[in-house]
Structure 1
């Protein structure tokens, strides 16, 4: 029980959610029943707490297990937490085979629809990257404000595409259009994960505040000098 309690306390740093469902009545009913040993009472209490966490976390067992372990996987992005993430050194490399292109050409280069945020309008530049053997690219990027504001879109059905290293207090659950999303409210190390599942450290860079969400099997990263409310407003305006 000691290890489980510590893990659940550590997990609490990840959570920022609406009011959870009230499980008090169910717990009281269980505790009112005869229990032969104190160990049974502690087991019931632990089960109730785990049920509560499952209710407020995204509805996947993997999300719960990874969050307890300090590695959260969500919408094609993994987030590893540590007290002091190592800062990248040198100039970061671009994503594999990254190139600039017109918006209509970018749409033909990826297998998912490229949606534009109504709050921002047409992008200043469009990038595509990491093509497979057939030429289909894995990532499409929309750039605004001279590149300081960006939206990365990638097929959410594929394996991980980005890896972040951040401190737990700066990572929180939020919502975009009623679905789960993640808000990272401070600069953090961002690396690309290639098709073989390897973290490409040469691409590591210090990223700005970021919103991560998923819609219709497409994953998104919105990064830039935005507040949480502004980022959610932009994300909600995708058309």
Structure 2
């Protein structure tokens, strides 16, 4: 085996090690660190990859023996010192280390609050913006009403909004109906149940910031919905002005019925929530 090839691999690994150390310094993730067993596993993998990269290549040695015995060597008898062979080995080494580093970063993100806070997924669905990442502090104090909220009858509400109003047939007519924000939202109330209806084609009417457990995808009357099982902070984005913190919301089912965005709050299980939602007419 050509010693210059090993030297090239060792040199390449040293360069990568230097780059990784620089990356580690740049990340500067404060305590807490990833769990000790995770760190040990990642280190062992890195050391194993380095060892394999710098150890004698048995496949190359076999080709040398075949060539010396007069037999045909695979791959046209390429020598380890050939630039193509050396380049491929360095490329494979970089691929392996890149994969290990990627795995380590995923573990780092999952294991530290700083990492989790840096990764936020935003789901805009049926007029609701759901931010999934590090949860925001839960609101405390008295709930705030929607802007311009006022009580009306169901018949009055139907004449004052631009979208059709629906009612869960298993619940019957609501005990209380309120219209808010110039007819943007209609809220219906039954004992322990609240149903908000709004124009679901709007980009963002409500906002929720969640940590684990993550929202669950469900099917409601043949369409996709989202079930949020834990209590969470609820914000409302008015027609004009910044978002407003409203209150602590309970488990909620969100879906869209034609042009109408639906937000059902109160059922404690997904089975109960779907039963009510499927009856909306």
**TM more than 0.5:** yes
Report if aligned partners of 2:217, 2:225 keep a CA contact under 8 Å in 1.
yes
Runs (4+) of structure 1 exceeding 6 A deviation are none
Larger-gyration structure (1/2): 2
* Aligned match for 2:269, one of 190, 210, 227: 227
2:259 matched to 1:208? no
**Within 2, Cα distance between the matches of 1:196 and 1:209?**
28
Who is 2:153 aligned against?
A: 102
**1:197 CA drift (Å):** 6.5
CA contact (8 A) 1:163 1:191 kept: yes
Of the two structures, which has the highest relative contact order with CA contacts closer than 8 Å and spacing of 6 or more? 1
Equivalent residues in 2 for 1:83-98 (5 A)?
83-98=134-149
TM-score of the superposition, structure 2-length normalised?
Answer: 0.56
Quote the residue 2:223 is aligned against.
Answer: 179
Kept after mapping to 2: 8 A contact 1:141/1:153: yes
> Cα offset for 1:95?
0.4
SS at 1:175 equivalent: strand
The structure in which a higher percent of residues are strand is 1
How far does the alpha carbon of each residue in 1:109-159 deviate from its partner, in whole angstroms, 9 at most, with x for none?
A: 11111111011111000010000xxxxx000111000xx310000011223
Distance 2:197 2:210 in 1: 21
Q: Which residue of 2 aligns with 1:142?
A: 188
TM-score (norm 1): 0.65
| Alignment root-mean-square deviation, CA | 2.2
SS in 2 for 1:220: strand
Aligned partners of 1:76 and 1:219 also within 8 Å: yes
Which structure 2 residues correspond to residues 1-239 of structure 1 after superposition, within 5 A? 69-131=120-182, 137-145=183-191, 148-196=192-240, 198-201=242-245, 203=246, 205-239=247-281
